[in-house]
Each structure stands twice: as structure tokens, then as C-alpha cells.
Copies of this chain bind each other. A is one copy, B any other.
């Protein structure tokens, strides 16, 4: 992967900055400081160690601690200043802008309290407020360039799902099998690390839940958590060996040039029990019917309720999105530079679909202590409807034992 190929175009950065600037007034914020790595990459095109200041009008400035030569190569921000310490920033800002902002937006959804206090002391004359809604509002509408990046990672994932079908076999542990397909995917560009914004959620690409592992409810805000590798990491793949004739749910996330994909398919080696097969087909039915409903102007709340109603009419109400007392309250989530990002296709969120929104849609069922069944694809909202970005066939993958 050559850096030039993956560079975020200058027009793209310009559009993002101006979209953030457009909404600052609504939040009575005079400028925002971007610190978190993903946000910094989104607004500057570089993920080097630094801070980006975006005033409500005029040009942004990127302050780089480490490593300025690389930041300058990657970012189209005009003004990039190398700093030794963050404490230099206020006086540099005064020099550049003359007038300092009265209110300053910071990423209060991710910034730890102690860091926040440090910045409040540093900007003692500014009122520090939450700038994260401005950032999320900009990020949740993907540009054509971004949809292109997501198509590229979807293609990588399609190849990886095909590879899984070639190498899956009984006796491999869930964790070992995940290592195999992740290695294949890394060879073709997968970056390995899935990024999740919430500090209590860990992203990982090895959510392989075979047979009974799929029936394990756990800590995750997901229908099933799996066994994991130990009580310290009690989710995702574990040491259980894949077996013939059991339902195997593979939820794979890949990342390419910072953009994520998140897809789930049911696998079986040999065959799978009728009950699991029917549940898997029902999940596909719900998946397809939601896609028909998705278009600009439709509320995510409606889509969520629609999926619940449909699961009921298909006779899977008791299993849909988890067992009765542990159902999750969403059937889809935004995805892009983070694996999970706003908006959500969820209960009572009051979000309305807009062109450019991208979602991972994941109708799943859990038969507690038995198995999981489900499917997941990524789609984007177009001017008139919704279109899959995912290109993995929406099927159940039954492979012959080797």
C-alpha cells in the first residue's frame, strides 16, 4: 500500500472541515480542538500525534508533536506547525488568529476527565464544551470518496469469506481458524485493528461462535458474546473446536485505509440442524425486507420496530436480538472509520435516514445454550433507497467436510 494512493484528497478534507464549521453556530461553539486519533485522521488526513484546531470560520491549523515530516506528507491542511509540547498551542493560536475563541469544543464523549482538566487549565479563558455532536454529524454522512473506500474493504472481505469456505475444517479451534482468515485478509491489506469509539467496547475481528459458543450470552451489547479466551476476555472466539454439522456464526470485521466493514454469515461443515437452518433463513428474510424499507426520510425507529414485528410474524420473536431478558435494542449501527459509530438502527433514537449514511445491519437470533443464527451486511442510503456495499453472497455457507 503506497501512501500516495491512500491519501485523503484535499477537496475531501475541505468539505469535512466546512461541514463541521457549518454546525458550530448551532452549538454556540467558536472552534473545536480535535485530539482523538480517528477524528484527527478524518479532519486532517493524518493520524500522527497532534491536535487540529478548527475555527468556526477560516483555516484550521494542525499542531504536530510527532512526527511532523510524515504529517506534512499525508495531510492537505495548509498550516502544519511542529510543537514540542501541547502547552505551546494557546499562544500559537493567539499569534495566528489574533482573536481567541470564547467557547471551545472538545471531544467530551471520549476525552478522559484528567485530560479534560488539563485542557481546561491550558485554555483557562475559554469555556470548554462538548464538540462531539459536531464531529458525529459531519462523520455520519459519507462522501462518494468514502463510499468508494468502503467498497474497497467490502471487496477485501468478500475474498476473505471465500477463503474461509476453502479452509474451514473440523478440529480447528475458533481462535486458530480466525488467525488463518485474518492472516489471509492482512496479506490483502486488512489492517488488523478494529477501532471502536466507546472505551468499554473492544473491537476485534475474531467473532467466531460455533455451535454452543453461539448460545452464550455475555457482556457484549450484542445478541451473543461467545466464550472468549478467558474470563479476562470473555467474548468472541475461544478454544472450542469447530465440528461438523453444527451452526457456525462468523462475524468478521476488516479495515482497509481506516475504513471498516462488518459482515456475518452462517457456516456449516457438512450440514446444520433444521432448527438452525430455518432461523438462519429467517434472519436473511428480515435482512432483505429491512433493506427494501430503508430510504431517506424513514426513521431508524421504524426500521427497528419493523424488524421486531417481522421476527414475530416469522415465529422467531423469542430469539430475535437475544433471549427474552437480554435482548439488545438495536438491529444496526453506523460504520466507517470506526466499527461502531452513530447513528443506530435502534429503539427510540429518533434518527431519520439521510443519503450518505452507512449501516451494518445485523438481524441475529440467539437460542440460549444452543447456538446463534444471523446475517450482517453493510449498506448505504442513496438518494432514493438503500444499496448494499457488501458483496458477500447473502447465503448460508454449507461446505463439505474435507
A residues neighboring B (CB under 8 Å): 1, 3, 6-8, 35-37, 41, 45-49, 66-67, 70, 74, 106, 108-114, 116, 130, 132, 173, 175-176, 178-180, 182-184, 186-187, 189-193, 195, 199-200, 202, 204, 206, 216-221, 225, 228-234, 236, 238-239, 255-259, 326, 337
Which residues of the partner chain B approach A179 to less than 8 Å between Cβ atoms?
Answer: 179, 182-184, 186-187
Residue of B nearest to A239 (CB): B1
Q: Which of A6, A130, A132, A232 has the most B CB atoms < 10 Å from its CB?
A: A232
Instruction: Give the residues in chain B near A233, CB-CB below 8 Å.
Output: 47, 191-193, 255, 258
Q: 30 interchain pairs (CB within 8 A)?
A: A1-B239, A3-B230, A6-B232, A8-B231, A35-B200, A47-B231, A49-B200, A49-B219, A66-B217, A66-B219, A66-B220, A67-B225, A67-B326, A70-B234, A74-B231, A106-B113, A108-B113, A109-B112, A109-B114, A110-B199, A112-B113, A112-B199, A175-B186, A178-B186, A179-B182, A179-B186, A191-B228, A192-B204, A230-B258, A232-B258
Distance A45 CA – B230 CA, assembled complex (angstroms): 11
Do the beta carbons of A47 and B187 come within 8 Å of each other? no
Q: Is the CB of B238 within 8 A of A257?
A: no
Among residues of B, the one whose C-beta sits closest to the C-beta of A236 is B192
CA distance A189 to B219 in the complex (A): 21
Contact of A231 among B46, B111, B193, B231 (CB under 8 A): B46
Other A-B pairs, 7, CB within 8 Å; known A1-B238, A232-B258: A66-B217, A66-B220, A114-B130, A175-B192, A176-B186, A183-B183, A232-B257
Closest 6 CB pairs of A and B: A232-B258, A179-B183, A108-B113, A191-B229, A49-B219, A176-B187
Closest chain B residue, CB of each to CB of A182: B179
Residue of B with least CB distance to A111: B113
Give CA–CA (A7, B231) in the complex, Å. Answer: 7
> Is the CB–CB distance between A175 and B193 below 8 Å?
no
- Kindly state the separation between the CA atoms of A133 and B49 in the bound complex, as whole angstroms: 26
B48 contacts A218, CB within 8 Å? Answer: yes
- In the bound complex, residues from chain B placing their C-beta under 8 Å from that of A189 are 229, 239
CA distance A337 to B259 in the complex (A): 29
Chain B residue numbers with a CB within 8 Å of A225 are 67
- Is the Cβ of B6 less than 8 Å from the Cβ of A230? yes
Most chain B Cβ neighbours within 10 Å, of A47, A190, A259? A47
Across the interface, do B192 and A231 meet the contact criterion of CB distance under 8 Å? no
Chain B residues lying within 8 Å of A178, measured Cβ to Cβ, are 186, 192
B contact residues around A6 at 8 Å (CB): 230-232
Contact A191 B232 (CB under 8 A): yes
- Cβ contacts under 8 Å, A236 to chain B: 192
Inter-chain contacts of A36 with B (CB < 8 A)? 199-200
Closest beta carbon of chain B to A230's beta carbon, Å: 4
Measured CA separation A187–B182 after assembly (Å): 14
Q: Judging by beta carbons under 8 Å apart, are B258 and A67 in contact?
A: no
CA distance A190 to B199 in the complex (A): 22
Whether B112 pairs with A219 at a CB distance below 8 angstroms is no
Residue of B nearest to A229 (CB): B191
Question: Could you say which residues of chain B place their CB within 8 Å of the CB of A200?
Answer: 35-37, 49
Which one of B35, B37, B67, B112 lies within 8 Å of A112 (CB-CB)? B112
A33 CB, min distance to chain B CBs, angstroms: 13
| CA–CA, A191 and B48, complex, Å | 28
Known: A66-B326, A234-B48, A258-B232. A183 touches B176 (CB 8 A): yes
